[in-house]
Structure 1
Amino acid sequence: MNKKQVTTSTIKDMKQQGEPITMVTAYDYAMARNVNEAGIDMILIGDSLGNVMLGYNSTVPVTMEEMIHHTKAVIRANGAAMVVADMPFMSYQASLADGMYNAARLLKEGGCAAVKLEGGSEICELVAKLVTAGIPVVGHIGLTPQSVNQMGGFKVQGKDVAAAQKLLDDAKALEAAGAFAIVMECVPAALAAKVTAELKTAATIGIGAGSGCDGQVLVCNDLLGFSDGFCPKFAKKYADLHGAIVGAVQDYIREVKERSFPAPEHTFKIDDEVLEKLY
């Protein structure tokens, strides 16, 4: 699918025009090629690569080097989609200087067009400085996986008055600081719709936040059914690649055991007279 390069201006225009924004995670060259061919608007190299690609039990162990490594792989395959990379845990929380330096690394070394940070009003000073420096920012509120230990697990956020008001205030603060988009994760649908309506320029990207957001994001491995294990309630499997992959490998094993693969069409020939001259 041919389409123009998606930029921050594209995303802002899509919000104003009411055109839903599509985003998926992709962590490597092959997946980035596939989702670009499908016509996705945005690709997120999420620090969820720690769980999905590296086998960590959370996003906390993910390093800047791992984020840069995977971002570079996605960029090598990228087409029109806008690429956003997560800033991993403690790459920006300790100081403004750390945040500026590490965000610049993701753009300069990784090649992405924007960075994503978790948090609300407490990170707005950094967001403003990044935007002023020319680094586009996506916010992330609601369930913020880097803070899962403090939150006491993966739970829906914003369910009482105080929490809902803080989420709304954080979204407005991020918008005022210059974030062009805000991911809302595990937020009641009605609250997410209210936040979306209140924001004038920043597009909301929902994950477990209902259809009232300006766009949606899913982890590609959940969307494609790469695993038959746990799947979040908010994720929909559009394919069963786990079953297809396991079945294909089982077919391969069987044919190798039966010596039916490789078949003649998979092999190369040599003249008999060459073989006859060997000793």
Structure 2
Amino acid sequence: MRIDLHTHSTASDGTDTPAELVRNAARAGLDVVALTDHDTVAGHAEAAAALRQLGAPLTLVPGAELSCRLAGTSLHMLAYLFDPDEPEFARERELVRDDRVPRARGMVAKLRELGVPITWEQVARIADGGAVGRPHVASALVELGVVETVSDAFTQAWLADGGRAYVEKHELDPFEAIRLVKGAGGVSVFAHPAAVKRGETVPETAIAELAAAGLDGIEVDHMDHDEETRVRLRGLAGDLGLLTTGSSDYHGSRKECRLGEYTTDPEVYREISRRATGAVPITAI
């Protein structure tokens, strides 16, 4: 089985619609794909409808990638198979989403102060109705020729945490995120925990504390982790009793990664499905 548990669509900052993502996952030879847009489940219904029309043996795992912050350090938490209608968790996701527009407007304002001829209209066009985020602002910088790639925008010179055009937003405390996910019957996995190229990361002692609070796993096999980092994280997961996942973090054409570039062990996927009580994977046939 080929299982990719971290992808994005136009419901947040990917370039594939949810339906296109499902079709592209099938073409890529995946057996299981998780849709984990940032702080939203808006793409789930379209993805499920596309799956039913697909006629191929693909399974969809509904999920989300949650924006969190611990002691000033940004981190992301993947949530799988939770009840999307559980009111407390739904309310917190809405608070995070609602802060995205003023935050993006703030970044546009800072960039204009730095002499970049970016406009909010340009960023809104790129977001095209999705949950606007830094990658949309980064794409605008690429369009304007300020940087060559989206990744090049995530530096201290531009949009990285603490960068010249960075603006903070409402983010969940990760311990609270774990509690909310569990309360909605879901499973939580710390996304790319050692992606140092994105900025500061939390120490391994914090991961141990999150594990003690109920964290289910950590994403190990990811494009932002080199082989040495993967070995270290696998050892840490073993010590803490955490599941380990592998994923592409696919964003369509916005990032240089392919569906199924990294995958999750089938036994780990089955354990995630076993632990979840809020929702079940959706099968095509």
Give the TM-score range, shorter chain. 0.3 to 0.5
Which structure's CA Rg is the greater one? 1
TM-score calculated relative to the size of structure 1 = 0.37
User: Does 1 or 2 have the higher relative contact order (CA < 8 Å, sep 6+)?
Assistant: 2
